[in-house]
Amino acid sequence: MVVAQQKGNYAFIDGINLHLTYEYLDWKIDYRKLLTYLRKRHNITTAYYFIGFIKENNNIYKALEAYGYSLAFREVSWNKVDAVICPHCNKIVEPEKDKPKCDCDADLVLQVMDEVDEYDKAILISSDGDFDNLVRKLLRINKLKLVLAPCKEGCSRLLISAARGRIDFMDNHKVELEKI
């Protein structure tokens, strides 16, 4: 009798969504603690972190890799953001600036599906409703362990509905994941 060898679970992290969520909230996530949590609680053997590449952030990328994340980079485009002008005095409050734009959603979906035979179950870390079809597909093929959204407040209702109860929120685990 052949015993099936367990492959372990993979995490697929929408890094931009995660970063922007915690930029908005009043606490910072400890990425080392997050990976430890994923390994201990969810048997994660590989954690892909999808992010736009900005040369000035090399130290951040090196730290994430040192913690054990597998980084998946996407080219960043730059969009002009208009200056903010005070409506009362017409003075510039914030000057015009370039803002980075990076959408890694398609890359994340492709990675999840390309490696579907390599892992037991997938954990998706995002609150983006654009992943609702991916979550439904993973449920149909019995490959979804969990959607772990950064916080309940900003999580897409589409994603919550698609997950059919297989969803948790990182803000429920603030004590374990917060950077001190």
CATH code where residue 26 lies: 3.40.50.1010
The domain of 15 spans 9-177
160 three-state secondary structure: helix
- Establish if 3 belongs to a structural domain: no
pLDDT of residue 61: 95
Total structural domains in the chain? 1
DSSP classification of residue 6? P
- Establish if 1 belongs to a structural domain: no
Q: First and final CA of the chain: distance in angstroms? A: 50
Spell out the per-residue pLDDT of the chain, length 180, in tens.
666 667 899 999 999 899 888 777 778 899 999 999 999 999 999 999 999 998 999 999 999 999 999 999 988 765 666 667 777 787 777 766 666 566 789 999 999 999 999 999 999 999 999 999 999 999 999 999 999 999 888 899 999 999 999 999 998 998 899 888
DSSP classification of residue 87? T
